[in-house]
Amino acid sequence: MILLGFMLGGFDHMASPVPIRRADQGLEWFVFLVIAASGVTLGIYAPSWTKLSIGAFIVSVLLNALLLIRVAIATGNTRRLHLALIGSVLAGAYDAIMIFVIAAAVRWATHLLSRSIPLGYFLLLQGATVAIVFMISLNEFLKGAKKEQIDIVLVLVWVCLLVVAFVAFGWQACIITLLLSFVFGAHLRPICVRLAAWFLSGDSGAFRRHVGLPPHRLGAISRRLGKRLSPHQMAEEILFGRGRLEKAEEALLDYCQNDPGVQEVMAQFNVSRDKLKEVYHTLVGAGAGQWAGGHWVAASAIAYPHTLRYVLSHLANDPKIRLEIIYGLITHFEHGAPLE
């Protein structure tokens, strides 16, 4: 589900200030269906593992080429089409792995089923597993007092399904179920974040402006920034400096400065790297150090050009309205509420 930005750390930064990422196109359902259908088809009909692998790679390259070329044309970057084609080859490797895993699971399952395992029961088990994985992913982005309890119950049900697969069909079926859980979980997550945005937005239609999940690199940095510290780790951060948080902050600033769109906003407001770091700390201190819609709000707020412009504009006008700024950012990343 990641394009060249996943493989090289930012095709979108090379091509245009406008992000060129699959998540920006809102086509997660299309991508998921193509990958799942391709995996099942190749798993059933591919005559050999070699042809299965080649087929998976070809489908992945064509899929990524379609999406990258589509957005390049839509944003007027027709001179960068050669980069889109190169990016589709590199990014195709990731999706090819996903297709290969699904196809391998299907081939393995077909082999097991041919030896007397009831097909209907096995498919029912896999359907239940995918449904539980979907609900686990969706619950991550929803709100509610019972959210943690629901998550625990869903995980227990998932574990029970793995046990059932092992007891009823053998260890091979259990491994197939486990692999498919992680593969489908990876592809269902971006779908779930948009679906949750639709639920949370009510009848406003704000979810149409939802930015999707953060790019892979920003997501990795955000997880480091948003990780809870134990008392011992907090003491190390204070005493020795240059700890995990500081390194993550430097990585975030590097990410921002490598984005042409963010660079343009920084130049517009005459913001230096040190000032940008100060803005991040201000946001964290004001309450943006929290997760919303899969984003560590304080990090994503300065990593997207439109949100950085929103933050700098409001801070410049009146530093005292920070709570309104934070609320606006949270609802924007959570369900696409417009920034005003």
Average pLDDT, the chain: 79
* Overall pTM surpassing 0.75 (yes/no): no
What's the total number of domains in the chain?
A: 3
Residues 185 and 128 in one domain: yes
Has residue 186 got a pLDDT over 90? no
Residues 138 and 92 in one domain: no
Q: What is the pLDDT of residues 187-245, one digit of tens each?
A: 888 888 888 888 888 766 666 678 888 988 899 999 989 877 655 555 555 555 556 78
The domain of 303 spans 214-335
Asked which of 139, 174, 203 is the last residue of a domain, the reply is 203
Asked which of 88, 116, 144 is the last residue of a domain, the reply is 116
> Which DSSP state fits 292?
E
Query: Strand (E) positions, the chain?
Result: 291-292, 295-296
Q: Residue 13: what pLDDT? A: 36
Asked which of 203, 223, 257 is the last residue of a domain, the reply is 203
In a domain, 209, yes or no: no
Range with lowest mean pLDDT among 19-23, 39-43, 325-329: 19-23
CA angle, 337 as apex, 335 and 339 as ends, to 5°? 140
In a domain, 145, yes or no: yes
Residues 224 and 235 in one domain: yes
Residues 222 and 253 in one domain: yes
Q: What is the pLDDT of residues 49-91, one digit of tens each?
A: 888 889 888 888 888 888 777 766 666 666 666 666 776 777 7
Q: Residue 336: what pLDDT? A: 85
Residues 89 and 14 in one domain: yes
Residues 109 and 123 in one domain: no
Long-range contacts of residues 85-88, Cβ cutoff 8 Å, at least 24 apart: 86/4, 87/3, 87/4, 87/7, 87/8, 87/11, 88/3, 88/4, 88/61, 88/62, 88/64
In a domain, 340, yes or no: no
CA-only gyration radius of the chain, Å: 22
In a domain, 240, yes or no: yes
Residues 130 and 78 in one domain: no
Q: Residue 22: what pLDDT? A: 47
Q: Residue 268: what pLDDT? A: 92
Confidence tier at 23 by pLDDT (50, 70, 90): very low
Mean pLDDT, range 272-299, rounded to an integer? 91
